[in-house]
Amino acid sequence: MRRKEKGPRVDIYERITESIVADLEQGVRPWMKPWSAGTLDGRITRPLRHTGEPYTGINVLLLWSESLARGFEAPLWMTYRQASQIGAQVRKGETGATVVYASRFTKTETDAGGDEVERDIPFLKTYTVFNCDQIDGLPDHYYHRPDKVIDPVERIEHADRFFANTGAVIRHGGTKAFFASASDHIQMPPFESFRDAESYVAVLSHEATHWTAPAHRVGRDLSRYHKDRSKRAREELIAELGSCFLCADLGIVPELEPRADHASYLHSWLRVLKDDKRAIFQAAAHAQRAVTYLHGLQPAEVVEEREAA
């Protein structure tokens, strides 16, 4: 019974991590696939629940990957029961995709002093969802694909306003982009040194994710960033995922070609993921918290406008 309880939970971490490792070993960053798979004629968004609410964290990567592998165009997903409740039907023979959510149970233990204490033990649960392209009888709006990418100038102006609203100090000069924790500012090369405006915004999204780290924001410890390769690799993975999530939200193409200083992280990421099957889940969760924090700095009218879209 014990083995039966533990086995599936371990398999979730291992199976998902092994899939991501396989891509990285081929030099492919799987979180970039939506933009590099010939789908740039339409807007890349996060996968959406049947309510229109975006999926978060590791589920974004899981459902992006599933959509690409199976050629789904609709961004919305729902459970078999949710489809049935609105009078629709998953087509016979269709197989669903696995998504996860964190849960916990309380275990009573005896401490060193002989007293009983309760300890929360976190674990992952899974459930199955189906893409709207697998379901018949849904109202037409469920099959709606994201609108074509809006006018580039308008899109960049929206991104500029987004970062201005965060209040981050952004300085320009030099040839490298980085977050300077000591002075709490983001350093960016001059705008004109980038290939295009989208490239600038994509790099800024990456650095803005780093910017969220201090304790007075989301509280990620960067104290060993320059001393510990593993810590640095983990933080860079968080920034990469955060940039992807944010770029999808802003309608921007992320850094498809890794910068020279980031290409070296592929090997480090492989080592981290092989040593710790939960690392990608933790990185995705940290990235999600960072992006949520950045969205939380936007004026209320901007948030309402985004939710309406």
Same structural domain for residues 157 and 283? yes
Decide the pairing of beta strands 89-90 and 135-136: antiparallel
Same structural domain for residues 48 and 163? no
Q: What is the pLDDT of residue 12?
A: 85
Same structural domain for residues 124 and 235? no
Residue with tokens 């109202």: 139
Same structural domain for residues 188 and 140? no
Last residue in a domain, options 112, 146, 180: 146
Distances (CA, A) of 211 to 201, 268, 289, 297: 15, 22, 12, 13
Does 69 fall in a domain? yes
Using DSSP, how many helices (H) and how many strands (E) does the chain show? Answer: 11, 9
Does 280 fall in a domain? yes
Give me the amino acid identity at 72: F
- pLDDT single digits (tens) 237-261: 999 999 999 999 998 988 877 666 6
Report the first-to-last Cα separation within the chain, whole angstroms.
48
Does 4 fall in a domain? no
Domain total in the chain: 2
Spatial separation of the C-alpha atoms in residues 205 and 296, rounded to whole Å: 15
The C-alpha angle with vertex 134 and arms to 65 and 97, in degrees rounded to 5, equals 40
Last residue in a domain, options 146, 161, 191: 146
Last residue in a domain, options 111, 131, 146: 146
Q: What is the pLDDT of residue 37?
A: 65
Mean pLDDT of the chain: 86
- pLDDT single digits (tens) 57-85: 999 999 999 999 999 988 999 999 999 99
Q: Model confidence at 44, in pLDDT bands (50, 70, 90)?
A: confident
Same structural domain for residues 99 and 120? yes
With a pLDDT cut of 70, the percent of the chain lying above it is 83
Closest listed residue to residue 307, CA positions, set 295, 293, 294, 297: 295
Is the pLDDT confidence value at 204 over 70?
yes
96 or 122: which leads in pLDDT: 96
Residue with tokens 């960053």: 29
Q: What are phi and psi of 129, to 5 degrees?
A: -125, 155
- pLDDT single digits (tens) 124-162: 889 999 999 999 999 888 876 666 555 667 778 999 999
Give me the amino acid identity at 89: Q
Domain that holds residue 130: 44-146
Does 242 fall in a domain? yes
Q: Please answer whether residues 142 and 48 qualify as being in contact, where contact means their C-beta atoms are separated by less than 8 angstroms.
A: no
